[in-house]
Amino acid sequence: MMKLPESALICEVGPRDGFQYETKWIPTERKLAVIQRLLEAGVRRIQITSFVHPKWVPQMADAEEICRHLPQRDDVIFSGLALNQKGVERAHAAGLRYIDLSIATHDEHSLANANMTVAEAVRQAEAMVRLAHHYDMQPQLGLQTVFGYRKPGDTPLARVRELARRFVDLGLESFSLADTTGMAHPLRIQEYVQAVQEEIGDTPLVLHLHDTRGLGLANVLAALQCGVRRFDTSVGGLGGCPFIPGATGNIATEDTVYLLEAMGVRTGIDYHKVAELALELETFLGKLLPSRQARLLARQRDLASQAHTA
For the annotated catalytic residues, the residue numbers are 241
CA dist 34 and 70 (Å) reads 11
**pLDDT for 89:** 98
**Cα 172 to Cα 188: distance, rounded to the nearest angstrom:** 24
Q: Characterise 42 by phi-psi region: left (phi > 0), alpha (psi -120 to 50), beta (else).
A: left
pLDDT score recorded for residue 167: 98
Average pLDDT, the chain: 94
Q: What pLDDT score was predicted for residue 107? A: 84
Cβ neighbours of residue 234 closer than 8 Å, sequence gap 6 or more: 12, 13, 14, 17, 18, 249, 250, 251, 252, 253
Selection from 235, 228, 230, 219 nearest residue 272 by Cα: 235
Single pTM value for the model: 0.95
Please report the domains of the chain, with CATH numbers, ordered by start residue.
9-269 (3.20.20.70)
Q: Is the dihedral of CA 169, 159, 122, 147 positive or negative?
A: negative
**pLDDT of the residue at 1:** 66
Cα separation, 166 vs 196, in Å, equals 12
Flag residues of the chain having pLDDT under 70. Answer: 1, 241-248, 310
